Chain A
Amino acid sequence: MIRRLLRQLGRAPVRILTSVVALALAIGAIGVLAVPTVATSSLRSTAADDGVPQIVVPVVDTASFDVSSLAPALANVDRLEAEVLTDVVLGDGRAVDVVGADLGAQQIDVVAADQGRLPVERGEVLVTAGIALVGDRFDVPLADRTTLEMTVVGVGGTTFWSDEDVVFTSIETAAALAGIDGANWLVVRTLDTSSDALRATSRDLRAALAAGGVTTSSLPLTIPGGRHPIEADIDQISTLVGLLGIVAGLVALVLLASTVNTLITERSREVAIMRALGAPGRLVRRRLRRLALGIAAAAVLIGLPLGVLISNLIARLLLDEFLGITPGIAVSLPVMAGSALFALLGARLVAARAAWRVTSRPLAEALRDRSGAPFGQRLTERLSVRLPLAGLLDRAAVRNGVHQRARSLAMLAQITAAVAALMVIASLATTATGYNEAIIEPVQWGSRTFVPGPGLDIDASVADDDPRSEVGADIDGEVAGWEVSVMGFASETKMIDRSMNEGRWFANPGEAAISTGFAERIGVGVGDDIEVDLASGLQTYTIVGLHPDRDRSVFVDIDELAADMLLPGMGNVVMSLDDQPPSYLTGELQVQRLSDLSDDDSGTTAILLIFTAIGAVVVAVAGLAVASGLAVGVYERRHDFAALRAIGARRRHIFRLVVAELVPLGVAGIGIGLIAGWWGSAAIIESFEASNAVEIGFTYATGAIPLTVGVVLFGTVALGALMVRRVSRRPAAVVLRGAA
């Protein structure tokens, strides 16, 4: 087979190599379907190595409670470790998390040192990369107003805190920083890691802690089945990547069919001569199938490593961006086997059909006609002759497009796929930008300030004398199985736009406003009651309005929320109309500025980069496929072109002929591609909205249409010019002699 392929390569090197490269690129592009597997595999491997917990329970302080009694008392709890979580502001003004744990003895969420060693003495810390170097020292204020000098003895961390700035230290040091006596962060390993079991165990834990007088400051986090906490986020991006992989696969399918069809069809005359010389049809068909298989096999050899490379590059980009993890090389055997089978079986099936077609034509007819069935036999061809087109070259071009309908359809599909892919990418970018803007649209605060520590720990009365600030609450809750932000505001708040899509802002106890998109997704409306699971237990509110907020938020009165959280008169955030925290707040503060939110587009940029890379692959595959189809089309008609040149046609006439055939395909491809791009991107956003129960708001990238149209038309015309240049280079007599 290889010898035969090499012989064929000698006959038509450019066409065969273009087919192999284009098909290989297509197989490589299918490799993006492996991104979820590759990313998940790296994440789970890291999660297993670090002993990621299945349940995390934030509490106020376990000071007087014997935490070690919980594990034996709860059936599904295998191990429970107590940690302390707090924050400090470093000398450079950067706020970092501080995690206190029994370092060196941990089995859950194990902290490891990449450089240096684990902290042993009070004041020793290990930091995540980028915060400080081993040997650095810095002073941090303690809760009792004294100062603690911290010495960095190691750099490293644990996967749970990946991509966060964290200082790891002993429980005692962290407790001194937090001003608590016990722990405030419980990590649990369970025997049964299924979602249902974790949910039940979480409930039991909350009940046991409440019975022991320990207040749960936030809803427990559950991580089922050995997953990594960030896996859900990666899954969504991976799904998107996979969707684009499917587009690449469809382009590959069209490319495979057109390449194999063309390779076999252009051997019609050779086949006819072989049959005339006595070769049985079965033998001829086998030779043709082997030729197609040879090309597919060569493409698989190049395409599989290319697919592994592409999937690993994208997975690395994703994990590096979102987790700070640099994963090792991973492969998805099912995707590799699938794409190889796709190419080989696809080539075999298409070749079988095409080979049957060329061997079943009456021999006399096949010998007489060099370029397949003569024009004018089909009804569509006869109808195309009646089309009232003005120019003779236009008529010839359009009729040829009708004659070579399979190739025309393939090129149409390829242009459509390229346009659709470009528009999907552009629309996702536009939608992401629009969403980011919409998220902060209702926000009227200029800054939000938190103080370190769990729970509601700010006395709401601190803002009583400051008309430019308010104390509020921002806590986690759960509604209908969805994690939500429960936001406590004053009923007359100035910190958020209270304009509603429907109904009104809350005014009375028991009332709530919720995000419109979320309400639609969970099927509730104004007048309905919703049950909100708070750390303190279930609370019921009546929906009085639907807010334009794009997140999953429930807005309630701050006083009522504090009371529901069993901490009346308290809050956990101070919102200010100014860019700076109010002057009455002192000590360690974490400040979130609106201007920072609107400027931070690093995540969006990373996602767009990934989409752009995949889009480039898809467009390259489609471009190569179009070029391949066009090259074959021009090559097959080289004798017609030479005859035209012989009777006086210049290169521009030939170019006109080729372009006149391509432009209708380009225009139709652009039209269908724009529609398909709209439909595809809308479907992707819809799936995102459904899987997140939020309103993202789809924006079609109409601004990208002129560029897309320009790129496709310019590409088509440039390809045409290139092909015509190639075919016009040899003297007409030499080309025509080859036809005889």
Chain B
Amino acid sequence: MELNSPLVQARDVTRKWGRGTAAQLGVDRIHLNIGRGELASIVGPSGSGKSTLGALIAGIDTPSSGSLVVDGTRIDSLSNDRLARWRGDTVGIVFQDFHLIPTLTAEENIALAAQLADRSVRRAERRDRSRAALAAVGLDSKARRLPSQLSGGEQQRVAIARAIVTRPRLIVADEPTGSLDQASGHEVFELLAGLTGSGTTVVVITHDRELAAGADRQIAMLDGRIATHTAAGVDMSPFVETDVRSPAVAADADLEPVR
């Protein structure tokens, strides 16, 4: 694996459910690279396929066709258990609804993610890592609180701490600010954006174009396909809608044209 190769490489990735005329299309022939340490945002209206694309990148769903390589591993052909192990090693996921285990405290939720990722880590070290993760999101004083005893913003911070405790190369956050007020939403986004500083790639799926604008790479989805694509301030839309491979773009290691 080359360090300067893209972390996420999607080629002709399609996800659909059902068959024939009743088939429902999630994403259609997506072609995309996302670089290491990048903050990428995926925006689009409801039903545009942004959450499906996020789920595919995070490895919690598998493509119907196409190839998807993340951090050097082709994840579209892994078995469920190997995919789960890969997720534990590589990805941290943040959900809109937090999805914390309601019967575990904040610290236990985070420690569980660390345990699932690597059982060889000793309990004391797991505890230290959990507390460090909690401290990183500013919740070290609420380690023993149950999810029901935390506000929405606090629960989302715990979810972020759970995502970062395994020191993943990729974090996928699906509408992480969707259940939060504007101020909490900005705080959470800043927290996620800050993670790229340590080389982690962060993919944020959001409705909020204002938040998305702060990302290094902005991908706009419509009807399961990439509608516009902006990277490093350059509008890549012409390449999105054509099948013509631009020599100039092809030379760009971070971006390949989308068919």
Contacts and interface: CB of A to CB of B under 8 A. Distances in A.
Contact of B60 (A371, A403, A650, A731): A731
A563 interface: no
Contacts of B146: 374-376, 385
Nearest to B162: A647
A360 to B, nearest CB: 20
Interface in A627-673: 639-640, 642-651, 653
A38 to B, nearest CB: 50
A277 interface: no
B104 A647 contact: no
B209 interface: no
Contacts of B97: 739-740
Given A646-B58, A733-B52, A733-B61, A392 B111 contact: yes
A737 interface: yes
Contacts of A643: 95, 99-101
B210 to A, nearest CB: 22
Interface in A336-383: 371, 374-377
A646 B87 contact: yes
A468 to B, nearest CB: 78
A650 B112 contact: no
Interface in B71-123: 80-81, 84-85, 87-89, 92-93, 95-97, 99-105, 108, 111-113, 115-117
A375 B116 contact: no
Contact of B101 (A644, A648, A733, A734): A644
B62 interface: yes
Given A647-B88, A648-B88, A728-B80, A392 B104 contact: yes
A5 to B, nearest CB: 27
Interface string A717-740: 000000000001001111011011
Interface stretch (A14-22, A130-138, A393-401, A411-419): A393-401
B51 interface: yes
A648 B116 contact: yes
Contacts of B117: 647-648
Interface of B is mostly: helix
B246 interface: no
Interface string A285-320: 000000000000000000000000000000000000
B55 interface: yes
B242 interface: no
Contact of A650 (B56, B84, B103, B147): B84
A649 B148 CA distance: 23
Contact of B95 (A644, A648, A736): A736
Contacts of B87: 646-648
Nearest to B51: A737
B76 to A, nearest CB: 12
B168 to A, nearest CB: 10
A575 B100 CA distance: 82
Contact of A647 (B51, B102, B116): B116
B98 to A, nearest CB: 9
Nearest to B82: A650
B102 A734 contact: no
A399 B103 contact: yes
A674 to B, nearest CB: 30
A650 B85 contact: yes
A739 B103 contact: no
A392 B52 contact: no
Interface in B20-50: none
A403 B84 contact: no
A371 B99 CA distance: 12
Given A403-B103, A640-B99, A374 B148 contact: yes
B103 A392 contact: no
Contacts of A732: 60-61
A735 to B, nearest CB: 9
B60 A640 contact: no
29 contacts: A374-B146, A374-B147, A375-B102, A375-B103, A375-B146, A376-B146, A393-B112, A395-B108, A399-B104, A639-B99, A642-B99, A643-B101, A644-B112, A645-B60, A646-B60, A646-B93, A647-B88, A647-B92, A647-B113, A648-B84, A649-B84, A649-B116, A650-B81, A650-B85, A653-B116, A732-B60, A733-B52, A737-B55, A739-B97
Interface of A: 371, 374-377, 385, 392-393, 395-396, 399-400, 403, 639-640, 642-651, 653, 728, 731-734, 736-737, 739-740
Given A376-B102, A643-B100, A736-B60, 12 more contacts: A392-B112, A395-B108, A396-B108, A400-B103, A646-B93, A647-B113, A647-B163, A648-B85, A648-B113, A650-B81, A732-B61, A733-B55
